[in-house]
Structure 1
Amino acid sequence: MPIVRVYNQLAVQDGDAPIEPAKFYPIARVILSDFAQIDNDMVDADRLFSELEDIAVINHQFDFLTDEQREFLAQFWSSYSEGKYKKQQELFIRMWRRMPALYQAFHRKLREQGLTTVGALYRAVANGEFEEKISAYASESLVFVGFNALSRAEATSFKRWQEEGKAIFYFDADTYYLEDRVQEAGLFLRRNIENIGLVNQIPATSNFSTQVARKMNVLKVQGQTAQGKIVHELLKAQEGKNTSTAIVLADEQLLIPVLQTIPDQETDPETGRQIPLPVNITMGFGLTNSAVFGLADTWLNAQAELAAGRTKTGKQTVKYTTAQAFLSHPLTGMSANIK
């Protein structure tokens, strides 16, 4: 993990002890997420991470804050100005001061290794660093379809390419939620078209949401898994009607329960024979919902407990529940006798 090595180098330079990778891992996830957001929104990292101890400075740089928000920040920072720092407060202050140098050193280290992050790449593209390669792809036009919430880096790149005649955009929007300011479904579409200035190649003149009458049935079920199970009954009711059925899931965690309930075969209305049921999946499957993630997460928990035990008592120990969860995981391939 390059970021922990870079952080420890900075910590040693400041006279602090290096931090173990196992302990730094949760912090690293937050830091990397912050760095990605900084790059995606093209924020000045040095200014963002500058330590704001003086409330007057906060009021000057963040004049858009409400009185309640200013009062909260004043109370927060006043706890660090009394000269009675607790250990955690001191560590927080030192880590906060280290962030600008960590941001710069981390990206510099990646560049030396020929690597980068997605956020840094988006920022570089927005700054025009890869225009030759972009032009090679955009010999005619780059077509962007269905983009919704755009970061500042994306918006900057898209706007420039549109002005240069390299890109066109398609937003499938309904006037019902596009023209109604109260409808949050059209929030980012309105921002893309009206504020950023991206030209929609599809005229937003349709109003299918309210013009077409629809019959809706609401079914009461207990829990999310039951939602997936009831799909089987609904599909059975459609069997033999020679129709296509779309299943729209608002929660990607329901994908596996739904797939487990969909039958493999259906009855051919013409011959009455069982034929394979074609299924087309158009949504992504989150890694956190997979069995592989569960196994990796359990293994990392065990490693964290080993590291904690080695630090506190000098013994490498793992909780019984953690060991049981790992050994009983189906991907370990262990037989019932061994478990």
Structure 2
Amino acid sequence: MGYYFVVNKTAWTLFVIVYISVIVADSEDPLINSLGLDLPDLPKINISLDEYERVVTAYLSEKDDSYEPVPELRVYRLNNLPRQDASHSPKMIFPIKMSSETVESALLRLLLPPQNDFPDIIEVEVYQILGVRRRRLLNEATFYLSKRFSKWCEIDITDALSTLSAKNHLGLELVCKECTNNLNPEVAAVTAFVHTVEKRKKRSTGIVGRTDCSLRPTKTKKRRCCRHEMTVSFTKLGHKFLESRVVDPKTYEAGYCRGLCPPNFNFATNHSRIQGIMHQLWKQESVNAKNVNDHNAHQIPKSCCAPSKLGDLQILVVSKIDPSKLEVLTWKNMRVLECACF
């Protein structure tokens, strides 16, 4: 018995050391530091459904739609929760039907009861119920529970709503293979960012800079310096702490600059115009130079296509001071609005 206790204590100590090391290493990440984002203490995050709905609704009402269409927040509460045996995985049937709407993102939000038994950090899976004996895995997540009070947890279920038809309801099953505790949620809801067809049609196609990137280049006329679209996903950046802190947007239109800079085209400064002319003169002189290698040592580069105007990005994040609250931050110079030759 003593040996079993020592082994388990050693394993738990090793887990804690590794977990703290991951947090420290991630807090020193240059991307996190450059964005000025304080990392939350993940086990302490406890955003209630009321707080989420209140702040997100206000945030979306003030959001600028010049870059992407602003979604609508849909909240589907499951009022009549079936009480199931603790030995079985909780199953929930939400009366949700999707038709012509587009789902940007969706979360299953659960208020789970206090966990009197070890562990309070669990790995869970959520499945979509497709039939009596058919289901498919949607996602996996780590839930940080409490021994003293109920905790709000969430897991992404975007794929489930994206494929939901106008005929079927949404059936979900929460599975924790190593749990012996009661995972029957006290409250369950699905929150989704949804775009209607009408809003999609009204999407602004603004931010194109000073040249038209939609013009197709030809063999004789290559595309000149202009702004191109680039969608950034915080999930794909590979920072799970950044992903857990940023509530919205999960993706945003950042843009980038690319193209040629011929003389006198879309110059940003008088210097860049002169540099473009000098580059052309250098090319002409290099053709007549006797010693090409010596001439290349004094090469004058052509002007480069680069951002000439940048825009800010508003983000909705978990508060560092109070992990039960949400707040809006502004990140400077996160979007390319216009491009020019420098």
* TM surpasses 0.5: no
Q: Could you state the TM-score of these two structures normalised by the residue count of structure 2? A: 0.22
Structure in which a larger fraction of residues adopt helix: 1
* Structure of greater relative contact order (alpha carbons < 8 Å, 6+ residues apart): 2
Structure in which a larger fraction of residues adopt strand: 2
Q: Could you state the TM-score of these two structures normalised by the residue count of structure 1? A: 0.22
